[in-house]
Homo-oligomer: A and B are copies of this chain.
């Protein structure tokens, strides 16, 4: 008998029919002798519906007291779906109880709309499990020290599930979603893309941060920190599929490097269409310049992704970075109106028609020549590389947006990702 955490996304909870299927699946696991904690998301569309109402009332408003109310509002979606799942489980003949975040309690800091979990008291949940109940822990939400409801940001139910699994030392946390695992790249772009049976925590972190939207990145960080075995799998298999088959399906995110994992050098190709490039040319090369530019960007609460500064020439350098495309106009205005004035920058230019493509693989740590193989594959397709950034387990390039599919397909083939990896 093991303690297992299941997490079901909004699509899996999207109708009473689907909720009933979730209940039947959970009941199967319970009857197989497992103690079950289930973390559901809000029914699909519900969070958007609620936040849409708020936006109608207060377009563009943002303050802590406003965001506090957004959390009061948005948290109701998950509370409702949790209660519905408990009801569906009872209809299956099981004992079941649902808890809102504050009832567990899941304690967070008070950063409304993007709070971080600080602690989870599992006494209440554990007592129910020991009494034979299936416990539903409402995802996406918690409570701050002053008793206010907080939410964890988009996709926060993943983080709730992993955090509960960590706090309760669950044997495994299964994230049921509308895809059946993590792929070498997006199958809509490369039909030959292959599902990975395992992927390392570090690779998953890079893939998530690079736009593979299977898991909220914070949940992966959490899983890494507490070494929670995490599996991404499909909620669209029949609920009565053999439990051993189900338990081995999807993609397992691993932490042990000596596990029997696939030993591909590159595990996947990630890409992101949602970036824009900003370049400051002829920046005087003196201390503090990077801070003067990016400090202002950070103060505007905009996240910067890639940052490139080349060696200088004649006392001047080029400084470029990428931001989310939605922040592009705001940052260009900011730079024009205040930042670059005092710096003596020669030119400011930007481009929204770019994309980022990355190869990710834990094997890159110990293999040389991987980046150059990437560059060659792109060059063979006539694709010009505008920016390059590397980390220990990934290499990213910025290219013209129009080449994105071509680049991804070329790289997928160059690294033999359509072939099963050799062990």
Contacts and interface: CB of A to CB of B under 8 A. Distances in A.
Interface of A: 16, 19-20, 23, 50, 53-54, 56-58, 61, 63, 65-66, 68-70, 72-73, 75-77, 79-80, 82-84, 86-88, 90-91, 95-98, 100, 102-103, 147-149
B16 A87 contact: no
Q: Is the interface of A mostly helix, strand, loop or mixed?
A: helix
29 contacts: A16-B57, A19-B57, A20-B57, A23-B57, A53-B80, A58-B87, A61-B87, A61-B90, A61-B91, A63-B90, A65-B90, A65-B95, A66-B87, A68-B97, A69-B83, A69-B84, A69-B86, A69-B87, A69-B90, A69-B96, A69-B98, A70-B87, A72-B80, A72-B83, A72-B100, A73-B80, A76-B83, A100-B149, A103-B148
Q: How many copies does the complex hold?
A: 2
Contacts of A56: 16
Given A69-B86, A70-B83, 14 more contacts: A23-B57, A54-B87, A57-B84, A57-B88, A58-B91, A61-B87, A69-B90, A69-B96, A69-B97, A72-B79, A72-B83, A72-B98, A72-B100, A76-B76
A198 to B, nearest CB: 36
Nearest to A16: B56
A65 B16 contact: no
A236 to B, nearest CB: 20
A90 B79 CA distance: 25
A291 B158 CA distance: 57
Contacts of A72: 79-80, 82-83, 86, 98, 100
A53 B80 CA distance: 10
Contacts of A16: 53, 56-57
A332 B167 CA distance: 55
Query: Which 10 residue pairs across A and B have the least CB separation, nearest first?
Result: A76-B76, A72-B83, A73-B83, A58-B91, A16-B56, A69-B83, A69-B86, A57-B88, A76-B80, A69-B87
Contacts of A80: 50, 53, 72-73, 76
A84 B53 contact: yes
A69 B77 CA distance: 14
Contacts of A84: 53-54, 57, 69, 73
B149 A90 contact: no
Nearest to A75: B79
